[in-house]
Structure formats: structure tokens, C-alpha cells
Structure 1
Amino acid sequence: MNENRHRPLRVGMLTPSSNTCLEPVTYGLLQGAPGLATAHFARVPVTRIALDTGSDAQFAPEPMLAAARQLADAKVDVLVWNGTSGSWLGIERDRALADALTAETGIPATTSTLALLDACAAYGVSRLGLALPYTRDVADAIVSTYAKEGLECVLAEPFGEHDNEAFARIPPADVARQIERAATDGAQAVAVVCTNVYGAFEADRLEHALDLPVFDSVSATLWRALDLAGARPSWTGHGQLLRDGSLRAGIQCVLGTLLAATGADRTTFRVDLPEHGLHVDLTAGEALGPGVRSIRRDASLDQRRLNTVEWLEAERRTLVQPHFREAPHPPEALKDVYGVRAQMLSPVETGGALTGWISVHSTRERAWTDADRQAIEAATAQLTAPMAPN
């Protein structure tokens, strides 16, 4: 809205009543982006986390809708349920809640659990480490809930607390050690699933030590709220998600649209963007058709030295290959390991340099149509814009 253009974004947060962590942490995180946004809070009664009807009743929609109406009076730009109850009650509960909040107020809405799932999607995470303050039965319910969303979980031993106020009294050093224990057994990222636990200010240090993203619930909620409001947050000091998450989510969106438009089996984007931790030997994003094997974490090839990439460097135009019987030939691993039989590659340039490229893969030989070529060129334009220097 026009009246909002010259003021900071306003983020409306529905907050568990016994939570003492998320407000100061959110304020602290926002100091990294002065003038971008302000946070505004309304509390709803939540004091105990357990698997029983009394605990479940705390998360009924009516008190949240009432709080949302109050926040709407402040003309907030986005609403979030800043709690992780959907992680054990079911993702469908949170999706329905977000829809209800928007229907009630006309304001876009999300939740902490949905934000964590969005973070996993942005980073292509399929195996997630969990750091939790809850009792073991609640932790097991979270593992089961996430499994239904396609996430395998590595569970560090939870702290065993059920009093929501007590979660914030767990020392940050203990939270950090729990994160380290969750970063094992092939975990591709670790999530701190609770908005009343002090994990946000540990994330940046731990990511460097573990070489894995750390998705703290408070940070993830703020990131997704700002992204949903159109801010595309990006600042340093508090982990990859606040620095790179919106860029990665945008890449995933473009690749998913391209996959659908071409009916291909895989789309990927590779780019050298060191300030965002990206380099061409690992994909920055990938979209897959049903049953198609992921190539996302395979860094076994020197991508810049591939015949096809050298062709892109020289020609700077889309390479269209309905089959691989003519040069330039792709690496044997692409054919033998990943079953690719046809592809299109489109160069992404920044300042005259070949910064990266989009790939569209087919597991069968196929004649790429004009519509397919137009789709990859449109995706190239979309992904080139964020790479341009400010």
C-alpha cells in the first residue's frame, strides 16, 4: 500500500504468553537491518507443552484470531504465529491457521513451523537434525510430523522440559552443545524447534564450526515474515538463513516454475556468488520430478572444465541438446549416474562474466520446443537480476 512505502515494515507476532525469549531475540536480530522493520507482539495463553487435550486446547484458533485482530489495528504488514505447535500437532493445523488469520484480517500470515519447512525447502534439506527442549514423547511426535513432510530427522536427546517458561532458562551453551549433537548421521542442517530457546545468537558461530546451516525458530520466523512481506531480508551476523534464505527461496521458486513449464525431470542452477556461500561445483538450487535422483550435493566434478560449460563460456547463448551424440559432450557421470539423456543449459552473466548457468535435464532424448527455450530464457532473466551488483 502506498502509505506504507516510506515506513519500516510492521511484523505482527502472535506470541505464547509464557515466552520470554522471542521478543528480545527478535529485537536483537532486527538491529542487523536498521530501518527495515519493527516487530509488534500480542500474547495468547500458552504455558505447558505436552501431548494431551489440555495442552492442545491452548492452540485453538479463536484466541489467535482475537490477537490477530488487535495487531491488524496497528496496520501490520504480515502476521505470524510465533510458536512451533504445528510441529507436533500437525502441519495441516498450521496451514489452516495461516489461512484463517489471513481470512480474518486480509494480512498475509505464516507460522514458525511453516517457516522452518520453508527454510528446509530453500536449502534442499531432506535430513534434518533436531535440537529440542521438550519431553521425549513430544520430540517423537515432531519426528513423525516432519517425516510426513519428507524430512528424515536426526534427534539429539531433548532436554525433557514441559514448562514453556522454563525453556528460556536453558543456558545458551547447553543449547549449542545440543545443536552440535544433532549435526551428525548425515544431517544437512539443524533446526532449533522452539521459539523460547536461545539458539539464534549461536547460529552463526556454529554454522562455521559445523559447516551446516542452523535454522533457529525465532530467526526462521522473522526471516519468513519479512520475506512474505516482500522485504527479501539479507544481513550478516546471525546465520545463513537471514543472509541467504530469501535468495535461495527465490531460486527454488524459479526452478520449480521452469520444471513445470518444460515438463523436464530436473532443473538446477549453479552460480559463483561467494558472498552468499555459493559456488558452481554445488547447485544453488534444484527442482525434481517424481522419483528423480537429486544431484544437489554432488561436488565431484570441476564444473568450469566441463565441455558443455566451456561451450557456454565461448558462445554465451543457450545450449540445446536433444541427445548427446554431438559435441559438446556432457560428463559421463551425468549420463551414467543420473540418467540424463537430453538437456538445455543457459548462461547467467554478471558484469560480462559467466557467473553461472541453469540446467534443464531430461531422462529421455527429446526435442526441445520453442516454448521450452522461452521458458529457460525467462528463468535466466529472473535469476540474472538478483546477481547484478547494487
Structure 2
Amino acid sequence: MSLRIVLDDRPLPRRVGLVTLATDHTTEVDFSVLPARGIGVYAARIPFANPVTPERLAAMAGDVTAAAALILPDEPLDAVVYSCTSASVVIGDDAVRAAIRAGKPGTVAVTPISAGFAALRALGADRVTLLTPYVAETAQPMADCFEAGGFALHGVSSLGLADDRDMARLSHGTIVDAARAAVAPGSQALFVACTAVRACAIIDRIEDAVGVPVVSANSATLWAAARACGATGPIAPGQLMRVP
């Protein structure tokens, strides 16, 4: 008896690559909602050693292209996400996206900064409160980046953590309480920085607490990557996910 072997085109019709930090506990979990929408998620990890300081973040610049190229080599991806907010600022958002495209030509290159800015603009928010888990020397360049991007910052709050593994351990209750304390009068939205912070799955709770739309680093990149793959409609909690 001979067996006729039939190969499908690909296991899932659309594909997203993640370049995550070696220490990341959170991004892959947040992106696990995509396979149910027919979008595969494939990750490569990039070397990183704490603490989260501008110097340590900048050291990742030379590894982005190789990490992107490692994700399903010689196969196309619809989008590649570099999952580090603060490094996107320190290295330079344009430089990070160029490095992604050098490793995966033709892909949509996504960072938390490019996606976050697009998300806030899609929500009609230009007066923004920024909440970060970082120490001051890491938070300040991000605040400067938001202002350079055309946003009026109505408050910047930082939790003073230097280890991204601790950032990933922040309880949901702590995140909600920090958001409530951070949001300043007149702010049209809250941006929660850091892909390690487990805010994406509880955006609706945070929005109920603060009374304005909330965008987290991972909700922004998830939204951007899903839209690059043609997915529409809510894929996670929050007002952003209802935006086309």
C-alpha cells in the first residue's frame, strides 16, 4: 500500500514573530490569544542582563537583526515585534525597526513605541499620563520620547524597579492601584510602559479604575500585529481592541 503525502501550505495562515528578552516572562503569554484567530506566534529570545538601565538596554542593539532572522528562517512573517519598550527608546525606534527588517525583509516591524503612539492616536489621545515600572534614569528618556512624538504628558509616574523579572511579578492589584494614583486631571489616556508588566489582560479593570482609555506596551503591539495580519474586532480587553 502506498501512502499519498499531502502538505498543507502552512499550519496557520498568518504568522507573527516575537523578539523577546531572555528574561521576559510576559510577552508570549499575552500573545497566546492569537492562534485562535488563525495567527501563529513564533518567538526568538535576545540576550539581556539586568538591571534595566540605558546602558544595558543599548547593548541589545546589535542582536536584533540576527534574532529576527532566526524566526522561521527563509519563511515570510506578517509582522515581527521587538518586545522591549525602553530599549526601543534608548536604541531608537527607527533603528530597531530597520534592524528587524534587515533580518526579515518585507515584514511589518512593530515596537511598543511605534505601536503605542499609533494606538494613542487611534484613540484620539494627545494628552497622556505615562506610568512606568522603571528607575528614574530609564523613565526620563521615555518621557522625552513621548514629548518629541507630539504628546503632552500630564504626569509621569515610575515605580523604581530595576529588574524586569520583578516588573513581571507586579500583582494585578498593584498595577491597578498604581494606574489610579498616576492618572492626572485632563489626561485623555494612560500608557503603561514595559512589556514585562502584566497589564494587557486586565486593561478593562484599569480603565474602570482610571476612567480613561488605557494602552499598555503589550496591548499596543498585540493590536498592531493583529491588524497587520488582517484580524479585526476585540482580541483582548480594552477600548483599543475595538479600534480597527
TM range (shorter): 0.7 to 0.9
Residues 15 and 44, structure 1, Cα contact 8 Å, conserved in 2: yes
Q: Give, in angstroms, the shift of residue 156 of structure 1.
A: 4.9
**Structure 1 residues 155 and 218: alpha-carbon distance in aligned structure 2, compared to 1, 3 A threshold:** same
Matched, 1:222 2:222: yes
**Structure 1 residues 183 and 227: alpha-carbon distance in aligned structure 2, compared to 1, 3 A threshold:** same
Matched, 1:42 2:44: yes
Matched, 1:20 2:22: no
> Residue in 2 aligned with 1:235?
234
Structure 2 Cα separation of the partners of residues 236 and 110 of structure 1: 18
Residues 143 and 156, structure 2, Cα contact 8 Å, conserved in 1: no
> Residue in 2 aligned with 1:275?
none
1:50-78 deviation per Cα after TM superposition (whole angstroms, max 9, x unaligned)? 13x3x144321x31111111114254321
> Residue in 2 aligned with 1:142?
142
Residues 45 and 58, structure 1, Cα contact 8 Å, conserved in 2: no
- SS of alignment partner, residue 218 of structure 2: helix
Q: Give, in angstroms, the shift of residue 226 of structure 1.
A: 1.9
Larger RCO: 1 or 2 (CA < 8 Å, sep 6+): 2
For residues 1-390 of structure 1, the aligned pairs below 5 Å read 3=9, 7-27=12-32, 29-30=33-34, 34-48=36-50, 49-51=52-54, 53=55, 55-60=56-61, 62-73=62-73, 75-86=76-87, 88-89=89-90, 93-106=92-105, 107-229=107-229, 231-235=230-234, 238-244=237-243, 247=244
Structure 2 Cα separation of the partners of residues 112 and 193 of structure 1: 8
Scaled by the length of structure 1, the TM-score of the pair is: 0.56
AA at the equivalent of 1:30: L
Structure 1 Cα separation of the partners of residues 226 and 124 of structure 2: 21
1:188-242 deviation per Cα after TM superposition (whole angstroms, max 9, x unaligned)? 111111000111122112223433111011111111112223x143126511112
Q: Give, in angstroms, the shift of residue 113 of structure 1.
A: 1.3
1:94-123 deviation per Cα after TM superposition (whole angstroms, max 9, x unaligned)? 112212322432222121111101111212
Q: Give, in angstroms, the shift of residue 125 of structure 1.
A: 1.4
Residues 26 and 219, structure 1, Cα contact 8 Å, conserved in 2: no
- SS of alignment partner, residue 15 of structure 1: strand
Scaled by the length of structure 2, the TM-score of the pair is: 0.86
What's the % identity of the aligned pairs?
Answer: 27
AA at the equivalent of 2:86: S
AA at the equivalent of 2:195: T
Residues 129 and 187, structure 2, Cα contact 8 Å, conserved in 1: yes
Structure 2 Cα separation of the partners of residues 129 and 15 of structure 1: 26
Structure 2 Cα separation of the partners of residues 44 and 86 of structure 1: 12
Structure 2 Cα separation of the partners of residues 149 and 89 of structure 1: 14
Residues 115 and 220, structure 2, Cα contact 8 Å, conserved in 1: yes
Structure 2 Cα separation of the partners of residues 223 and 12 of structure 1: 14
- SS of alignment partner, residue 198 of structure 1: coil
Structure 2 Cα separation of the partners of residues 96 and 156 of structure 1: 25
Task: Note the residue ranges of structure 2 that are not aligned, 5 or more in a row.
Answer: 1-8
Structure 2 Cα separation of the partners of residues 20 and 220 of structure 1: 17
Structure 1 Cα separation of the partners of residues 38 and 154 of structure 2: 35
> Residue in 1 aligned with 2:4?
none
AA at the equivalent of 1:84: T
AA at the equivalent of 1:122: A
Over the residues paired in the alignment, what is the CA RMSD in angstroms?
2.2
1:237-288 deviation per Cα after TM superposition (whole angstroms, max 9, x unaligned)? 51111222xx2xxxxxxxxxxxxxxxxxxxxxxxxxxxxxxxxxxxxxxxxx
Structure 1 Cα separation of the partners of residues 138 and 204 of structure 2: 27
Task: Note the residue ranges of structure 1 that are not aligned, 5 or more in a row.
Answer: 248-390
Residues 83 and 112, structure 1, Cα contact 8 Å, conserved in 2: yes
Q: Give, in angstroms, the shift of residue 22 of structure 1.
A: 1.3
Structure 2 Cα separation of the partners of residues 87 and 158 of structure 1: 18
Structure 1 Cα separation of the partners of residues 135 and 155 of structure 2: 12
